[in-house]
Every structure is written in C-alpha cells, then in structure tokens.
Amino acid sequence: MSAIDRRGWSNKELVRERDKGGVRRLWRLLLGMTISVGPAAGFLVNQNECLQIRYQVGRLEGRRDDLAEQERLLRLDVSRLESLADVEAWASRRRDLVKRGAATTVVVELAPTAPTDLVAGHPPVPAGTDAR
C-alpha cells in the first residue's frame, strides 16, 4: 500500500473553475444594494443642503433683527438730536447764544421765488427791505 492510499489525499495541482452562477449572484446582490441605497443617499444629500440653507436663513434673520435694532436706536438718537429743546440747549451752551424768553417769537419771512419776481435778471429782493 502506498503512502497516498494511507493518507487519502495527494499533492496534486488544483484546477479552479469559476463559479459563474455565484459570480452572477454576487453582482446582482451588489447591484440591488446600490439601487436600494442610492435614493437614501440622495435623500441625505438633499437634507444636508436644506439644513445648510436653514442655518443660513437663521443667520440672515438674526442679522436683520440686529440691523432693525440698530436702526431703531439710530432713529431715537436722530429724533433726540433734532428736538428743538436740545438744539437750543446746544446752541446756548456751545455758541454762547442769548436765550430768548418763552413769550418771544421770531418770524422769518422768505422772499417769493417765482420767476415773475425777477427784474431784469437781478435776484429777488428779501422781504421787508426796500427795493430801490
């Protein structure tokens, strides 16, 4: 009895045959997985873009609110600066102007600026002055 018969095997070169059916099943499985995962991946990409846009909109809304608050504060400052009492106080403090009494009223008349008031190309005469 030879050694091969005792062992039940021999060191012969193996010939591997491709399992064409198994390869086809593997490719079908991969294709099916790709097809099933594709829409989910597209959905995730779309959700990511929507989320980024929401964050951007939130930042812009915050910026708009900040600008609205700044505008409100500036309007308050302008209205305070334009108030007649503050202007008069500033003028009397900074420019040493004489403070008039509450009963004093000053009326300033403006000369009419219609073209009929022009005489031979001369500028209009201020109201209350003699035109000679």
For 52-100, the pLDDT digits (tens) are 999 999 999 999 999 999 999 999 988 888 888 877 777 777 766 666 6
28-48 burial, b at 16+ Cβ within 10 Å, e below that, comes to eeeeeeeeeeeeeeeeeeeee
Residues 6+ apart with CB under 8 A from 24: none
What is the chain's Cα-based Rg?
48
Position 129 pLDDT exceeds 60 = no
Q: What's the pTM?
A: 0.43
Q: Cα 79–65–76 angle (5° rounding)?
A: 10
Query: Tokens representing 88?
Result: 């008069």
